Amino acid sequence: MIPYGRQDVNEEDIQSVVEVLRSDWLTQGPAVERFEQDVAHYCGAKYSVAVSSATAALHIACLAAGLKPGGTLWTSPNTFVASANCGLYCGANPDFVDIDPRTYNLSADTLEEKLASAEKQGGLPQIVIPVHFAGQSCEMERIAALGKRYGFTVIEDASHAIGGRYRDTRVGSCAFSAMTVFSFHPVKIITTGEGGMVLTNRQDLYEKLVRLRSHGITRDPRFMEGEPDGPWYYQQIELGFNYRITDIQAGLGSSQMRRLDEFVARRHSLAERYDTLLREQALTLPWQHPDAYSAFHLYVIRLHLDAIGKTHRQVFEGLRQEGIGVNLHYIPVHTQPYYRRLGFKPGDFPQAEQYYREAISLPLYPSLSDSEQDRVVQALKRVLS
Ligand SMILES: *Cc1c(COP(=O)(O)O)cnc(C)c1O
């Protein structure tokens, strides 16, 4: 079976982890700091806080932004559940903004309309989380401008998008947001096994994120109530978590960062090959916004079902039977049973639902060889014919 995605770990990556294992630190220590600096420097952000997953990163980013019980968070329905669950962790109410039918990202037009009507009805969000679907940046300049006008905080869920660019900025620079979140799960662009990061240019957010990562504890006298009792002293000044990542994982992360550009370049050349090989098929191929250079986490095709004469499910199962590990990103979050119990229902976000009925993610990862890719294309042509 050719999977839809997989990590690429080479001998250098392994050596980098072994070095950490031979060192004095295993939990959060100097390797985490180095990894944080590597990513912040690459992206052009001032601060970065590495944590145990992107899910943890989204949670503390929402808390740092001041999301409170009863607040509101908007995100895309075409995402992994974690992009919306972070609002629920804070006791806030998630809601969704339907997608752009070309990029499958949260639509800036729809966001603008929804904000205008929310303003009249008194339901403006505190936080909006644009998700850079498949690695392609959302229209950040427009979203940032709406954030200023309506007073919400923008947190980018860039779990798919490290190594991507928006205009002349790297995703993660936070030029158009308060914070950006990355995931280092093995199917993503680079990996630490499990892991995530929050980037920001704001010192106040950075200091808060660092505390929330580790129990809400500080050792900095500037933040303490009263004077420290002595050199051993720390204070818990708010409720935080244990969301730390290990030095072992960070060793892998720093090594993977050195390979990031090569990974994204290979993803692009495979995507271009798919574009060429699939041009004549009854499919919509990924559309690239001129402002975005995608990290190409996913290569998603949409089936022209009328022309194909097979159901979406038949094509999907046909590919699996051919040994092609296709996948589907994403089941619209608002249609999940848990979200239906919150009051959402099918029909609420028709673009995301229409997309879901036609989309398939083809295998795409740096070590996918041209001949394996040819096998995918041949299998797809057979199934479609
Ligand atoms: C993978 C992913 C997450 C969660 O990442 P973890 O590191 O597994 O917690 C969040 N949002 C999106 C869009 C993702 O793809």
pLDDT tens for 109-133 read 999 999 999 999 989 999 999 999 9
Q: How far is CA 162 from CA 48, 169, 188, 294, 330, in A?
A: 13, 12, 9, 9, 19
Collapsing DSSP states into helix, strand and coil, what is residue 364? coil
pLDDT score at 271:
98
Interhelix angle for 370-384 vs 260-277, to 10°? 30
The residue assigned the tokens 């936070």 is 174
Task: For residue 330, say if its preceding peptide bond is cis, omega within 30 degrees of 0.
Answer: yes
pLDDT score at 298:
98
71 CA to middle of ligand 1, Å? Answer: 22
187 CA to middle of ligand 1, Å? Answer: 10
pLDDT score at 287:
98
Looking at the chain, list the stretches that DSSP marks H as alpha helix, in order from N- to C-terminal side. Answer: 11-21, 30-43, 54-64, 82-89, 108-121, 140-150, 203-213, 247-257, 260-277, 305-308, 312-321, 337-341, 350-356, 370-384
80 CA to middle of ligand 1, Å? Answer: 6
159 CA to middle of ligand 1, Å? Answer: 5
Distance CA 332, CA 93 (A): 17
The residue to mutate among 131, 159, 243, having the most atoms of ligand 1 within 8 angstroms of its beta carbon, is: 159
- Asked if 330 contacts 80 with a C-beta cutoff of 8 angstroms, the reply is yes
The residue to mutate among 79, 132, 183, 190, having the most atoms of ligand 1 within 8 angstroms of its beta carbon, is: 183
The residue whose CA is least distant from atom 10 of ligand 1 is 82
58 CA to middle of ligand 1, Å? Answer: 9
pLDDT score at 48:
98
pLDDT score at 112:
98
pLDDT score at 213:
98
- Asked if 324 contacts 378 with a C-beta cutoff of 8 angstroms, the reply is no
For the CA atoms of the chain, what is the radius of gyration? 21
pLDDT score at 277:
98
The residue to mutate among 51, 55, 88, 190, having the most atoms of ligand 1 within 8 angstroms of its beta carbon, is: 55
Amino acid at 196: G
161 CA to middle of ligand 1, Å? Answer: 11
First-last CA distance in the chain: 21
pLDDT score at 322:
98
Which domains are delineated in the chain?
A: 2-257 (3.40.640.10), 260-384 (3.90.1150.10)
The residue whose CA is least distant from atom 6 of ligand 1 is 54
pTM (predicted TM-score): 0.98
Pocket of ligand 1 (CB under 6 A): 53-55, 79-80, 82-83, 131, 157, 159-160, 183, 185, 196
Atom of ligand 1 nearest to the CA of 58: 10
pLDDT score at 118:
98
Within a 10 A sphere around the Cβ of 314, how many other Cβ atoms?
13
Distance CA 147, CA 10 (A): 42
| List of the chain residues with pLDDT < 70 | none
